[in-house]
Structure 1
Amino acid sequence: MDEDLDQMTREQLIDEVRKLRQGIRQHRDSSGHELCWHHPALWALLPEKTDPLPVVPDWPEFIRGCIKYRQSLDEQASDAPRTDVPYDE
């Protein structure tokens, strides 16, 4: 799957690592309502050019998953600052 790496020069590999790190940092630095979004830009950093269509749960299951995710933030990031900024399109 990653055979393309075998053909890259040292400089190309360094460029690739920098590109991937930037994508990871951008995703990592998501905050607030950005945490809930579909992130195809992150997957676009991979060499295989595919944009898989996600399987989306029905609304009740989707909302249960959102609640579970938010609860996990309380457990895993209990010291993270909180905000009451409303979602704004």
Structure 2
Amino acid sequence: MDPDRDLEQLSRDQLVAEVKRLRAGIRAHRDSTGHDLCWHHPNLWGLLPERLTPEVAVPPWPKFLRGCLRYREALDRELPDAPSADFEYTKDEP
């Protein structure tokens, strides 16, 4: 079944509103910075009409941390002039 079939029933104005909503969500994800870059983004996934809880598989700590290091190294290569956000992550998770 086509997961986007619901779009065929929307008016032009409803489609424009949907595009704006999706763009806002993509921009929020794109504009993440600092420690927010390290987190998965369920708010972005929540923009889709199908409601499900993603099955997230988490690698063991050593492999996870190596992935974090590779991600950070990629940022150094791809954005060498990015400003530094030199602060500790302090948000308390429930």
With structure 2 as the length reference, what TM-score do the two structures score?
A: 0.91
Cα shift readout 1:34-87 (whole Å, capped 9, x = no counterpart): 000121010000011112121110100000000000000001111110122111
Distance in structure 2 (CA, Å) of the matches to 1:73 and 1:8: 40
Q: Which residue does 1:73 correspond to in 2?
A: 75
Query: Using the alignment, how far apart are the partners of 2:31 and 2:53 within structure 1?
Result: 23
Q: 2:71 & 2:88 partners in 1: Cα distance?
A: 18
Q: Residue 51 of structure 2 aligns with which residue?
A: 49
Structure 1, unaligned runs of 5 or more: none
Higher relative contact order, structure no. (Cα contacts within 8 Å, ≥ 6 residues apart): 2
Question: Distance between the aligned counterparts of 1:83 and 1:7, measured in 2?
Answer: 45
What is the RMSD of the two structures over their aligned residues, measured on CA atoms?
0.8
Q: Distance in 2 between matches of 1:88 and 1:26?
A: 21
Q: TM-score, normalised by structure 1?
A: 0.96
- Percentage of pairs with the same residue: 56
Gaps of 5+ in 2: none
**Match of 1:40?**
42
Once residues 83 and 33 of structure 1 are traced to their aligned partners in structure 2, the CA distance between those partners, rounded to angstroms, is 9
Moved over 2 A (4+): none
Equivalenced residues, count: 89
For 1:88, the equivalent position in structure 2 comes to 90
Distance 1:19 1:3 in 2: 18
